[in-house]
Structure 1
Amino acid sequence: MTAEIRLVEVTDANRDAVIAVRVRPDQEQFVASVEKSFQHAEQYPDAKPWYRAVYAGDEPVGFVMLSWNLVPGPGFRGPYFLWRLLVGAEHQGRGYGTAILDEVVTLLRAEGAKELLTSYVPEEGSPEPFYRGYGFVPTGEVDEDGEVILTLDLTTRP
């Protein structure tokens, strides 16, 4: 059973609550904070950042950010790249990560997207098993930061 979530636009009214969502300390080396994600979105407008808070009921439990329909170029992979996916430490293990990806995949398919790319740091404790379990497969590429690039075929995944 998939967790019930909603993707919610970040506004002045919920920004602080969304920024307060944090991963476990041992995961911080693998995923930037929500606050850092907002900074990256401002710094790299050419990456066409699209982000949403993830809510379960009235509580923010996670955050997701993608490059949305960009023209791939130097430093940018796409057209759709999963830039951030995080679930708050106290909310992990409840299916929220899978639910977030399910929601994103539905939105991307509605846009006509054929694939979703992402990357991970190849170290112990990385999110690789989660992504591989969802259906992402390595492209064979490694980016300039040493992150392994993964792809999800949106035309074949149920």
Structure 2
Amino acid sequence: MRLERITPGNLEAAIAISVCSDQEDLVEPVVKSLAEAYVHSQYAWPRLILDGEQPVGFVMGFLDIPWGPDDDTDDIRSGIWRLNIAADAQGKGYGRYAVEALCDEIRARGGKRAYVTWEPRPGGPEEFYLKLGFQPTGERSDDQTVGVLEL
């Protein structure tokens, strides 16, 4: 398994990643993530998840982003912005691999914590993130639970 930057050569493969139909309301499609990465290029870290040469998912981190109502905050955070694992590739460790690789990147940049948000509902990713060690902070962001993992 490996992560690869999004390039003209793998753009179509990245855009083609689609999650299970019952997860579509939980995570934006890759094409929207790539548009957001373009607009927020100073913070976004989009990567294609590959198993050999087979695209199996997409992860986008946010790195060193001011957290709060304005950009003058001292609360600077990094973490998981999006995680899309292809419907036929779920349950095979690709999500765990992508989260761990993103956490390695955060550590390499001097980060001590990784953050994520999730929709608290049946069928949502809460159990996945809790199994990886994320803990709810008690904060909410856009009606989602904020979780943190100490690195």
Assess if the C-alpha contact under 8 Å between 1:8 and 1:54 holds in 2.
yes
Q: Report what 1:137 is aligned to.
A: 135
Assess if the C-alpha contact under 8 Å between 1:62 and 1:88 holds in 2.
yes
Structure 2: which 5+ runs fail to align? none
- Number of equivalences: 148
1:58 pairs with 2:53? yes
1:37 pairs with 2:37? no
CA distance in 2, matches of 1:13, 1:95: 25
Q: Report what 1:70 is aligned to.
A: 65
Map 1:84-99 onto structure 2 (within 5 A). Answer: 84-99=82-97
- Among all aligned residue pairs of Structure 1 and Structure 2, give the percentage whose two residues are the same amino acid: 37
TM (normalized to structure 1)?
0.87
Range with greater deviation from structure 2 (87-96 or 100-109):
100-109
RMSD between superposed Cα atoms in Å: 1.7
TM (normalized to structure 2)?
0.91
- Where in structure 1 do 4 or more consecutive aligned residues deviate above 3 Å? 43-46, 75-78
1:123 pairs with 2:124? no
Equivalent residue for 2:11, pick from 12, 15, 26? 15
The letter of the residue matching 1:132 is: L
The letter of the residue matching 1:26 is: D
Q: Report what 1:49 is aligned to.
A: 44
Q: Report what 1:101 is aligned to.
A: 99
Structure 1: which 5+ runs fail to align? none
Q: Deviations over 1:50-102 (max 9, x none)?
A: 11111100011111111112233427874203100111001111111111112
